[in-house]
Amino acid sequence: MNDLPLLTILIAIPLVGAIASAFLPGATARLVGLGASGAALVWAAIAAFSSYDLDGGMQLIETHSWIEALGVHYALGVDGLGLVMVLLTVALVPIVLIASWHEADDEGNGGSSGFVAWVLALEAMSLAVFTATDVFLFYVVFEATLIPAYFLVGGFGRSGRGRAAMKFLIYQLAGGLVMLASVVGLYVVSADAGKPSFLISDLAALDIDPITQRWLFVGFFVAFAIKAPLFPVHTWLADTTEKATTGTSVLLICVLDKIGTFGMLRFCLGLLPDASQWATPVVVVLALISIVYGALVAIGQDDLLRLIGLTSLSHFGFIVLGIFVFNNQGISGSILYMVNHGVGTAALFLVAGYLIRRRGTASIRAMGGGAEKVAPVLAGMFLIAGLATCGLPGLSPFVSEMLVIIAAFEHAWWVGAVAVTAIVLAAIYVLWAYQRSMTGPGGDFVGVEGMRDLDAREVGTLAPLVLALLLFGFAPMPLLDVINPHVDDIMTSVGVTDGAQGGQP
């Protein structure tokens, strides 16, 4: 089994599925797509359980020379961080596909087959991003994710999506190009050292002088901050989530944006540790602003999808904060947060999507409440997902949020104090939104698709997510087992050890 290029096959499965479904009629394409994403899920699970070793370090490595003249390799591998992201990705895609079963039926741009094809392409690219161990390859697939994402945003969703897609793409491309400078810079540094290469392992071995490190760091960080997103380069986020379909938003926020924080860990901390420490104060401040600002703005939103998008800003603030406070709890909390946020926000988006589809509007005020009585399951799911988002104990985000907050206090008391306020704000925006949209006397539900409760398909998409929220809320250890060895690796490479052994909930 180990002789097989497991990761390449993993990437190839959705890719083949994407190509196939692009040329098939809508209904068939959906089935093929679902099959492909399911296969990827199964394959990833098999690979993880059969071949991944919990000791940490880069595993399942494949390395082939790609462009010899530039020292570029086709190199794949996963470590703890990569593995959880891969699993998150493969798990979310089938759910999104099912949830969006009828979403793209009546749209142009290739209809369902187009939607499925782009989703699968996005999955393949994302998997490649999380498994790439060559900077060049990483960059290539990093940028390549934008194309399917662009067409998903621009092709499907509410009117005005074209503009939103363009804003999205411009932001992301700009970030990518800034990163390109740093990628090139890394290459030049390695060439100066005598061995031009893009392999992360080669680059990590370099001794880069601090000034250069800082420049390179800025390049990488800007790109990842846009991706993540982080204040002040987050403005694409709300527009995109507002206009795109919720399925797309799930993929964007829960999978794609994780690349940002993933990149910070992999490149900023992994390759440029000195510069990362140098930048900590600024980054921490930015993260705190994101946390508070995201939450505050979310409170003021009337559009449900915008609201959810902005909560993510707050959450990404937490993740970045965890990464840059430089201690074990922080980082493992962040990684955990990435998973939990993925699950929780996905659930919230999907529920919101179902609700909006029923009401025909995304405006909280226009909904006028009352849904609780007509559609109790829907309301319940909404509540669970919402509470998970605001970090209710017993649901998984709580664990990661606590880890990060503890780490923040350890870093500096005022950082922790500011971070804590977000919990309060989160409670406000979730509960208030719930109250206004679900509870109360309710209006007349005339002229819309019809206010009815969730059907089996919809419940089926939400159930695994809610289960995961509960499961990881009470027993996060399996995840932490995967994550912690990697956290130790990072801490060693950064050169900061606080002695504490992993984060205990």
Residues lying near other proteins in the complex (CB under 8 A) are found at: 66-71, 108-110, 136, 139-144, 146-147, 150-151, 154-155, 161-163, 165-166, 169-170, 173-174, 177-178, 180-181, 183-185, 187-188, 191-196
Cβ contact 108:151 at 8 Å:
no
Between 10 and 152, whose beta carbon lies closer to other proteins?
152
Q: How far is the CB of 143 from other proteins (least distance, A)?
A: 4
Cα angle at 259 between 354 and 44, to 5 degrees? 75
DSSP assignments along 221-262, one per residue:
HHHHHHHTT-TTS-HHHHHHHHHB-HHHHIIIIIIITHHHHH
* CA nearest to 57, candidates 497, 488, 417: 488
Between 213 and 311, whose beta carbon lies closer to other proteins?
213
Between 216 and 238, whose beta carbon lies closer to other proteins?
216
Q: How far is the CB of 347 from other proteins (least distance, A)?
A: 29
Q: How far is the CB of 385 from other proteins (least distance, A)?
A: 31
Between 147 and 402, whose beta carbon lies closer to other proteins?
147
In whole angstroms, how far apart are CA 333 and each of 39, 112, 131, 339?
30, 38, 21, 10
DSSP assignments along 317-356, one per residue:
HHHHHHHHT-SHHHHHHHHHHHHHHHHHHHHHHHHHHHHH
- Cα separation, 238 vs 85, in Å, equals 23
Between 139 and 445, whose beta carbon lies closer to other proteins?
139
Cβ contact 249:309 at 8 Å:
yes
φ, ψ dihedrals at 208, nearest 5°: -95, 135
* CA nearest to 244, candidates 120, 100, 368, 45: 100
* 3-class secondary-structure state, position 213: helix
Output b/e per residue, 36-56; b: 16+ Cβ within 10 A: bbbbbbebbeebbeeebeeeb
Between 232 and 393, whose beta carbon lies closer to other proteins?
232
Cβ contact 216:182 at 8 Å:
yes
Q: How far is the CB of 188 from other proteins (least distance, A)?
A: 5
Between 136 and 337, whose beta carbon lies closer to other proteins?
136
Between 145 and 246, whose beta carbon lies closer to other proteins?
145
Q: How far is the CB of 10 from other proteins (least distance, A)?
A: 19
Between 112 and 301, whose beta carbon lies closer to other proteins?
112
Between 132 and 433, whose beta carbon lies closer to other proteins?
132
Between 256 and 295, whose beta carbon lies closer to other proteins?
256
Q: How far is the CB of 382 from other proteins (least distance, A)?
A: 31
- Cα separation, 502 vs 505, in Å, equals 10
Q: How far is the CB of 307 from other proteins (least distance, A)?
A: 25
- Cα separation, 88 vs 282, in Å, equals 30
Cβ neighbours for 495, distance < 8 A, ≥ 6 positions apart:
273
In whole angstroms, how far apart are CA 405 and each of 254, 322, 325?
21, 8, 10
* 3-class secondary-structure state, position 425: helix
Q: How far is the CB of 195 from other proteins (least distance, A)?
A: 7
φ, ψ dihedrals at 132, nearest 5°: -70, 135
Q: How far is the CB of 445 from other proteins (least distance, A)?
A: 31
* CA nearest to 221, candidates 276, 293, 294: 276
Q: How far is the CB of 187 from other proteins (least distance, A)?
A: 5
Between 54 and 177, whose beta carbon lies closer to other proteins?
177
Q: How far apart are the first and last CA of the chain?
A: 36
- Cα separation, 481 vs 502, in Å, equals 9
Q: How far is the CB of 132 from other proteins (least distance, A)?
A: 12
Q: How far is the CB of 297 from other proteins (least distance, A)?
A: 26
